[in-house]
Amino acid sequence: MTGNTLFIYPRRGLYLITRCSNCNHTYQCNNCDANLVTYKKWEKNLELVCHQCQSYYSYPTQCENCGENGISSFIGGIDKLAQEIKTITDVEPTRLDNKRLKPDFSKKDHPFVTTRVYDPAIDYSVMSKVILIAADNLLSSPDYMVMEETIKNLTELILATPQTSNIIFDTKDLENEFFTKVVSICNQPSSTYKEVLNWYREFLTSESNIRDKYGFPPYKNLILVTSQLKNRQKSIDNINDFKRILDRYRLEKFPEISVSSSYPARFLRRKNHYSYHLLIKYPKQYKNFFNLRNVIKNEASRIGLQVRLNPKNLF
């Protein structure tokens, strides 16, 4: 290996999926429906961890569904990546995702691994190569702020990496307009800070047009109302009761607002509670805001719903 290489891979743990090869049963958390991630506990001891609710399970020796022994885990996370790098290069890569250890950036021809796209604690000036593994994952979340944060982090990463270094995007999605653009910027030997910042500014402009069109902040304010109960049907009923009440108020008092239909949260089940959302949009500097706020506050607390103003995550 010549020069230092930084591997960025935003997936924690050893393996992302665990499955029985006999009946194809996959392992999910009993308290949520999240896939369980395999971690190495001690020497050869594995455990399954839920990233959503921090539940821990011992690694199965027999399938809980069919009783056979053929359990295997696959799709490697950052721990597996670190193992593979060690196998190939015979060098133990430095983990930058472990905040307890202070990393030594003075090493030469050395591999480093991290789960964060940009981390101000990393000394990028010593890296000859920066490789984003499975970069397609960067775009996998549907929330409206995620794209903005990803681009902000990428901009920071490109600006922090020396111009003589290579930034390599490992992606299967070669047609993706987003990657084509980033890659073309990173591949220009003469690309300057100004070009990177121009690219960032262009993104913000087009993003702000999209937000304007769909009524997201800063053009409208959002209120996300959430019901969260162990009883799934009761959770749906509660959010729909709230919607009926609010629709009536809207017709009589608040014609400027919009109220979505209720919809399930992305992680529908979390810590054994079922979550449903409702999204309300109202204009900036809304003259009737205090009345609207009181109605929402009173009705939501009567039914037992959570209320959040302009949240980052809408799902």
- Applying CB under 5 A, among 1, 3, 17, 25 the residue interacting with Zn ion is 25
Assess 225 for contact with Zn ion (CB under 5 A). no
Assess 63 for contact with Zn ion (CB under 5 A). yes
Among residue numbers 272 through 291, which ones bind Zn ion (CB under 5 A)?
A: none
Assess 23 for contact with Zn ion (CB under 5 A). yes
Assess 55 for contact with Zn ion (CB under 5 A). yes
Q: Shortest distance, CB of residue 55 to Zn ion, whole angstroms?
A: 5
Q: Shortest distance, CB of residue 23 to Zn ion, whole angstroms?
A: 3
Q: Which of 267, 13, 286 is nearest to 141 (CA)?
A: 267
Assess 268 for contact with Zn ion (CB under 5 A). no
Assess 49 for contact with Zn ion (CB under 5 A). no
Q: What are phi and psi of 50, to 5 degrees?
A: -95, 120
DSSP the chain: --SEEEEE----SSEEEEEETTT--B-B-SSS-PBPEEEE-SSS-EEEE-TTT--EEEPPSS-TTT--S-EEEEEE-HHHHHHHHHHHHSS-PEESS-TTSPP-TT-SS-EEEES-S--TTS-GGGEEEEEETTGGGGG----TTHHHHHHHHHHHHHHHS-TTSEEEE--S-TT-HHHHHHHHHHH-TT--HHHHHHHHHHHHHHHHHHHHHHT-TTTEEEEEEEEEESSHHHHHHHHHHHHHHHHHHHHHT-TT-EEPPPEEEEEEEETTEEEEEEEEEEETT-TTHHHHHHHHHHHHHHHT-EEEES-S---
Region binding Zn ion by CB under 5 A among candidate stretches 50-58, 164-172, 202-210, 247-255: 50-58
Q: Shortest distance, CB of residue 14 to Zn ion, whole angstroms?
A: 18
Assess 66 for contact with Zn ion (CB under 5 A). yes
Q: Shortest distance, CB of residue 22 to Zn ion, whole angstroms?
A: 5
Instruction: CB nearer to Zn ion: give 23 or 91.
Output: 23
Among residue numbers 160 through 199, which ones bind Zn ion (CB under 5 A)?
A: none
Assess 28 for contact with Zn ion (CB under 5 A). no
The Cβ of residue 252 has, within 10 Å, a number of other Cβ atoms equal to 8
> β-strands 46-49, 56-58: how paired?
antiparallel
- Applying CB under 5 A, among 8, 20, 134, 246 the residue interacting with Zn ion is 20
Assess 31 for contact with Zn ion (CB under 5 A). yes
Instruction: CB nearer to Zn ion: give 52 or 240.
Output: 52
Q: Shortest distance, CB of residue 65 to Zn ion, whole angstroms?
A: 4
- Applying CB under 5 A, among 6, 16, 32, 82 the residue interacting with Zn ion is 32
Q: Shortest distance, CB of residue 29 to Zn ion, whole angstroms?
A: 3
Instruction: CB nearer to Zn ion: give 211 or 271.
Output: 271
Interface contacts to Zn ion, rule CB under 5 A: 20, 22-23, 25, 29, 31-32, 50, 52-53, 55, 63, 65-66
